[in-house]
Amino acid sequence: MTILPSTIPIFPLFNTVLFPSVFLPLHIFEPRYRAMVADALRGDRIIGLVLLRPGWEHDYDGRPDVYPIGCAGLITHAEALADGRYNIILQGLEKFRILAEQDDRDYRLAHVEGIAEQLPSLETDALAEARRRLESALRANQAGRRHDAMMPSSMPAEELINGLSQYLELEPLERQALLERDGPVERCRSLVELLEMKVLAAGRPGRAGRVH
């Protein structure tokens, strides 16, 4: 289990949600977030990714509201470009809840508490059943089949669920809802429900539907 620092920089985005164990490439170009990355690289290399709430456009240069649950990530690779921008790869570590923010930096710093997602031994069978339902739902979706090669059957269930939650073509608010689920079993069940609803919404129950 990762022990998060009590204060971490947070990086708010309007269309991206990070999940534990998943890798996410990011291009950092705004001056305040270039400073954030530079400071993180000099320290513990941890950044918290959070989703902006609707209406963020009216105060983007300030501190628009974000959802209180995010995911901390470790910068595993960083490429500093000549003009000060960065290309980084963030690996999801652990969910967190924002307790408060401080405003002594150009970028946002938050006091957080980690949210562990340990799987109780009693839920092992439930997770296996949820995974079987998920694989069945994926076979009914063209978008799911596009990820078959990326998600081999040997992949641990929790990594599979989190990877699909991040990489399938879902709306940002759908991803946020998945992140906020209480552990991998509930996240998997909710992901299955999302996929099944999208098949129905496409008007072709039981046939291939596009996830969008």
Q: Is there a single domain that holds both residue 52 and residue 93? A: yes
CA 27/CA 110 separation, integer angstroms: 22
Q: Which domain holds residue 184?
A: 121-201
Q: Is there a single domain that holds both residue 39 and residue 135? A: no
Whether the Cβ atoms of residue 71 and residue 93 lie closer than 8 Å to each other = yes
Residue 212 lies in a domain: no
Q: Which of 115, 140, 173 is the last residue in one of the domains?
A: 115
Number of domains observed in the structure of the chain: 2
Q: Cα–Cα distances in Å, from 10 out to 46, 49, 68, 73, 120?
A: 9, 6, 11, 10, 30
The per-residue pLDDT for 6 is 95
* pLDDT tens digits, 71-106: 999 999 999 999 999 999 999 999 999 999 998 888
Task: Kindly state the average pLDDT of the residues 11-18.
Answer: 94
Q: Is there a single domain that holds both residue 152 and residue 69? A: no
The per-residue pLDDT for 147 is 52
Q: Is there a single domain that holds both residue 137 and residue 109? A: no
What's the sign of the alpha-carbon dihedral 127, 128, 129, 132?
positive
CATH of the domain at 61: 2.30.130.40
Within 10 angstroms of residue 56's Cβ, the number of other Cβ atoms is 17
* pLDDT tens digits, 98-146: 999 998 888 999 999 999 987 777 788 899 999 999 988 887 765 545 5
Residue 47 lies in a domain: yes
Q: Is there a single domain that holds both residue 128 and residue 111? A: no
* pLDDT tens digits, 16-60: 999 999 999 999 999 999 999 999 999 999 999 999 998 887 777
User: Is the overall model pTM greater than 0.75, yes or no?
Assistant: yes
Residue 168 lies in a domain: yes
Residue 210 lies in a domain: no
Q: Is there a single domain that holds both residue 106 and residue 137? A: no
Whether the Cβ atoms of residue 177 and residue 165 lie closer than 8 Å to each other = no
